[in-house]
Structure 1
């Protein structure tokens, strides 16, 4: 086998290995320096483990996580029972509905109107937040804590405090003010506002109770805080290319862009607590498509924490923040925002731009190839705005890429044809130099240079597809816009594999077969789209110049079969991309072949 064939085969093998290994061997970025230092300092102080989430004595700004028994008094009840038995105010917006518990002032009941659990006709809406005491409780809470130097002896609102609302429904046009008098001359107030999408604004302030014993100038300085607490470890997707769990962006000064820190649930279980001081930023929990995040004012100095506490059959996770700057008394309200909803790209971008939230777009895991994945999504979204179908958008994106690389494809085809024409000369060189590999390689390189042939040119179009493939895979995987996005006919979700299978004659037989049903034999479950992809790939190989080396020719002929099985369980959108790419490549090859024949047949001026 000559060196050119060997290099081409190695390039193909490397591409396949990368293609398979990308989703299994990707490792997340290392933690930022400031967070890693916080972990090290905690370990040096003897912290960590299950007990690490307890508050330091006298800190007093946030409640302990507590144990599962304390969270579920008298045993676990259903979500519906807890909601029915708790005094509440309703939440109603164009995108969410739910309620706020007046016990503890918790935002703990939130359902997303625009998203279903699955594609079935009777599928329920996605439930994001659930009340304390329910299975998989998940909620946000806002309150006050005491300073180490002041506020001692002041009665503060807690988990069992019953707040009084000034109205019964929270909408984008009607904020709700909750208030509670502590009996010692202070009135605590929380104003809840919400926009048309997924952003709550929480304003907290304290007033002297009318006729009480405390004058306005004597209100103790207390620190407002916010927290998000989550019970149980979410199953997640288990993909290494996607971060699901605690995360945040932190910075040391206003002139910094901020550093993203992604923390796994297992890491937080080991550390117990991670503390970071930041100027602005944000922190929260992310799932594949959903997010809850606490967002302080971006010029405020805040102390933030990631906490974990384990129990029998239960893990509790918490993120919280407290204002580290001027404590709030009678001076005015302290504002914290809570994002709770779907990670819609244009919504996230708008919050980042309008509110100046640093790197808020990183709540969507664009990955290391941000510079490629983000533009590809932007192009797809633009086409979707024109034609209203993401499958057609993928086809248009593929056409744009093929047109962009048409000159390179032309040079590649010319080089492959020239390599085929050089085979007689290369055979003579092998006969001449025999086992003298060094001399043979030197003479072959001289031949390539003389004939102006690039032996690697045939590999370049294949290798250039890999980054685009990865970026499109990432876009299909992480963006909620692609979730349940239909194409045509049987493809109802471009982010999921082709649901048809050869085992039920592609839906003609009256039963369904899922890959999970087949266990280790799931590789034989192949849908219609992968078969079409394999057919177009085989046709593409047929219109290409036949490799003179028999080993290389056999590998090329086996590639369509291999890729048919390989792509059978990738998102359908990727298979649509590959089918389009193969089809356009066939048209390009035919065009280039005819162009080259025309040029060859045209007589030169000298011969004329």
Structure 2
């Protein structure tokens, strides 16, 4: 009977693993390919005649051109800073061409820098524009207005540029643009009314992204989409994922006093920050054009009258760059931007995730390696829970010590299950054994595990952070695979006919997942065996199953969990030695020592 039960359990586990692989191969992968095909088919970027007020519907979508052709369609002002390179379009005075020179697309040093913004007309356009809107005000600058470069030649820190435009009807527009050595632009707009009639104008800013980003497809853990902080009393964080944004169409207008609006990816952010303390209306809207979603995060400030001979000035900040936590915090403090550091998606358990990151960053500042920082974090967590874990491991060791007595009771009362259970519980009580002791140390690790998972998923500090040897990115999976002997064979398993996708996804097992599996197996052998043979077989299979489950996870997580297993094994080993309980480590050492003696 027990053999049948064990066989059925094994069959169930094998079938479950098989279903997981089939689902990955025939459902997830085809869906991803279909999504990529849809995006490729929809690549004509939306180029439109913009209305004077931000967020207006796109009116037409001409065929897309290359990025280079889109850049060449307008005279430009170069941007050169220690962190950025790109250009400003004089047509529309847009910031629409931006590269992050300190970040690469891949871990390869020769890979191109990360592209943040691209001009309208190119595939997947993403740009920022600012200006003035007003009812019955003729000659306001639009996206087709070509501005004049009045001062400067290249925008750099300490070297601003000034753009001007005279509408021929008495209004002169001037725009001074400054940039710092990180990611913040300061745009100072001035309107001089030289006409004979007063005008009423309101400042606006808009960040537009055309087309659903490929990277956002299927994203569940990381927020990508609309982000901002809006509210009249105290601006609160606003988060809308791309899919919901596209479905809902519009969120707002939201009345606010200060705040900010933006569009974010996993690591990158484009955000507009109006004058803090001023009344404004913030909005996130989506329109459809040419089969594309046109995402628009915008704000409109309070209207102000400009009489004849008067002028009005408005200052707006634009952030375009990496979501580096210290940089976001410095801008938040310096400019008084509410919740700006929350552009990093800390999640609903931010009160736990944020301290984990702060601790890792502190250790990194001393050791210079986030991999080592994770090892130190693991030790710190073990020390924090040491008294509880030590007590539980002692109870587990006692339980292993009474295993012979338990087996005797099972044999003696095999025909009376109730009496058997009663005697076993009495044995537990006499020996002060807790049968569920092994669960508590594991449960204590779970919050740290998920917090670290979130940190590795959202913080750019972990992106492309190397560790030892083959580990070049703590936020990515182990790049090695058993199918080419961890790189010894010059062959990419992903190119294998029929099963290449499977070998590169569900069956991708690298060096670190295997080390993790071995550590988990050794950890389970330190625990008391389950009383039921079926349960024993399940526990024997768990290291194999979890090796496959953990393989796609970030290397940083595997380092944490493997090191946790090693420390747990060492702690249990010391306790077992103290209680003089047989353990697998002593048996392994004994075998190795015996072989060494025999060889001598």
State TM-score, norm by structure 2: 0.81
Pairwise CA distance, 1:331: 5.8
Shift of 1:268: 2.6
After superposing the two structures, state which structure 1 stretch, 76-85 or 503-512, moved more. 76-85
Tell me, in whole angstroms, the C-alpha distance in 2 between the residues paired with 1:379 and 1:183.
59
Using a 3 Å threshold, how does the CA distance of structure 1 residues 119 and 300 change in structure 2: closer, same or farther? same
Question: Post-superposition shift, 1:596?
Answer: 3.5
Does the CA contact (< 8 Å) of 1:104 and 1:161 recur in 2? yes
SS of 1:477's partner is helix
Instruction: Decide whether the 8 Å contact of 1:534 with 1:563 is kept in 2.
Output: yes
User: 1:521-576, CA deviations, whole angstroms, 9 ceiling, x for partnerless residues?
Assistant: 54332111111111122222333444455444333322221221111111111111
Q: Specify the alignment match of 1:236 in structure 2.
A: 215
Closer/same/farther in 2, CA of residues 519 and 351 from structure 1, 3 Å limit: same
Cα distance per residue 1:557-601 (max 9 Å; x no partner): 222212211111111111111221122222212222233449xxx
Which one of the candidate residues 556, 563, 567 is aligned to 2:539?
A: 556
CA contact (8 A) 1:429 1:443 kept: no
Measure, in 1, the Cα distance between the counterparts of 2:274 and 2:383: 46
Are positions 1:96 and 2:84 aligned together?
A: yes
**Partners of 1:448 and 1:335 in 2: how far apart?**
73
Of 402-411 and 587-596, more deviation after overlay is shown by: 587-596
Structure 2 residue aligned with 1:301, among 279, 287, 296?
279
Q: Which residue of 1 aligns with 2:472?
A: 492
User: 2 CA distance for matches of 1:515 and 1:431?
Assistant: 60
Pair 161,510 (structure 1): closer, same or farther in 2 beyond 3 Å: same
Question: CA shift at 1:97, angstroms?
Answer: 0.7
Counterparts of 2:412 and 2:178, CA distance in 1 = 83
The verdict on how the C-alpha distance between 1:392 and 1:328 changes in structure 2, with shifts beyond 3 A counting, is farther
Asked if the contact 1:300/1:325 (under 8 Å) is kept, the reply is no
Partner of 1:395: 375
SS of 2:214's equivalent in the other structure is coil
Provide the rounded CA distance (Å) in 2 between the counterparts of 1:368 and 1:193: 36
Alignment check: 8 A CA contact 2:49 2:143 kept: no
**Contact between 1:415 and 1:454, CA under 8 Å: does it hold in 2?**
yes
Give the deviation of 1:320 after TM superposition: 1.0
Structure 1 Cα separation of the partners of residues 67 and 341 of structure 2: 32
Equivalence map 1:31-42=2 (5 Å): none
Contact in 1 for aligned 2:200/2:303 (Cα 8 Å): no
Counterpart in the other structure of 2:56: 64
Contact 2:49 / 2:144 at 8 angstroms: preserved in 1?
A: no
Q: 1:368 maps to which residue? A: 348
Deviation at 1:129, TM superposition (A): 0.7
TM-superposition CA deviations, 1:55-111 (whole Å, max 9, x none): 9xxx96336231342xx4xx3221112223421111111100111111111001111
Counterpart position of 2:4: none
Range with greater deviation from structure 2 (115-124 or 155-164): 115-124
Distance in 1 between residues matched to 2:391 and 2:178, nearest whole Å: 60
Q: What is the 5 A alignment of 1:545-584?
A: 545-584=528-567
Alignment RMSD (CA, Å): 3.1
Cα offsets for 1:287-340 (capped at 9, x unmatched): 111111111222121111212121233221111101136567746421221111
Matching residue within 115, 123, 138 for 1:154:
138
* CA distance 1:68–1:397, shift in 2 (3 Å): farther
Query: For residues 114 and 88 of structure 1, what CA distance do their matches in structure 2 show?
Result: 23
Q: Partners in 2 of 1:190 and 1:346 — Cα distance?
A: 29
TM-score when scaled to structure 1? 0.80
8 Å CA contact 1:65–1:318 kept in 2: the answer is no
Query: Which consecutive residues of structure 1, in runs of 5 or more, have no partner in the other structure?
Result: 1-8, 25-52, 599-608
Residue 178 of structure 1 pairs with residue 163 of structure 2: yes
Pairing partner for 2:575 from 586, 589, 592: 592
Shift in alpha-carbon separation, 1:425–1:113, aligned structure 2, 3 A:
closer
Deviations, residues 398-428 of structure 1 (Å, cap 9, x unaligned): 1111222222221111111333455536975
Deviations 1:484-543 (A, max 9, x none): 111121111111111111111111111122499633454332111111111122222333
Distance 1:157 1:311 in 2: 23
**Would the alpha carbon gap of residues 413 and 477 (structure 1) be closer, same or farther in structure 2, given more than 3 Å must change?**
same
Change (3 A) 1:543 1:137: same
2:255 to 254, 277, 284: 277
